[in-house]
Amino acid sequence: MIVTKLKDGVHQCRELKGVTDPDQIKLIQSQDKRYVEYRRVLEAKKAQRLKDNLHLIQDGQRATHTFFVDTKKEAREFNLAERLNTHPALLDRAYNRLTNEQLSEMDLASTMPDPRLLAEAMVAKEEAYKELGRRERREKQLQVAREKLEVKNHLMEKKAKKVLVKKETKNRAAVYKWESRRKR
């Protein structure tokens, strides 16, 4: 959005500060709406593919599993490891929880991974989640840029009367209310 100011009898154009990121300004000025939408969809698909691969296994967020019992005595004596048929050390895992039969069939000494490999896997997992966050932020930026392009195109119409409802920010395009006109 450009605001003009009269300085020494000459109109000077100045841009509003803090309205958009420099990246958004470049994108808005250089690309059209279809290209921005194409890139947004591409980022959304890549983010969805990452989500599918990661299964969003996060340590802080747990799904709840409710078991129903008939009496209060059964509730006090309820053994979760016995009910899930697994070792008590595996109860805190919400994913890949092996049953007692699977554990008895395995040779645990030969299947224990190297601690260095476990650390590398954790680093790779954290990096994948960071990349997912970056992709989602990029998709959101592209969505805002597309909305700003749409508003800019609508503002070019000279005949339509408009009223500014909300000002433009970094995360949102300006919101206008147009006078309704009957189409013939």
AA identity, residue 17: K
> Higher confidence at residue 166 or residue 34?
166
Q: How confident is the model at residue 18 (pLDDT cuts 50, 70, 90)?
A: low
d(CA 12, CA 133): 40
Torsion angle of the four alpha carbons 156, 161, 165, 170, in this order, in degrees rounded to the nearest 10: 10
- The whole-number pLDDT of residue 42 equals 95
Q: State the CB neighbour count (10 A cutoff) for residue 144.
A: 23
> Higher confidence at residue 177 or residue 25?
177
Query: H or E element: which one contains 163?
Result: strand 162-166
Ramachandran bin of 156, using left for φ above 0, alpha for ψ from -120 to 50, beta for the remaining angles:
alpha
Of 107, 112, 113, 67, the closest CA to residue 91 belongs to 67
- The whole-number pLDDT of residue 132 equals 92
Q: Hey, what are 15's tokens?
A: 């841009």
Average pLDDT, integer, range 25-38: 72
Q: State the CB neighbour count (10 A cutoff) for residue 36.
A: 22
- The whole-number pLDDT of residue 43 equals 94
Query: H or E element: which one contains 176?
Result: strand 175-178
Of 43, 48, 38, 42, the closest CA to residue 149 belongs to 38
Is pLDDT above 50 for 165? Answer: yes
- The whole-number pLDDT of residue 92 equals 76
Is pLDDT above 50 for 1? Answer: no
- Predicted confidence (pLDDT) per residue in 78-121, tens digit: 998 899 888 888 887 777 788 888 888 877 656 666 788 878 88
Mean pLDDT score of the chain, rounded to an integer?
81
Is the pTM higher than 0.75?
A: no
Q: Hey, what are 64's tokens?
A: 């709840």
AA identity, residue 146: R
Contact 20/2 with Cβ under 8 angstroms?
no
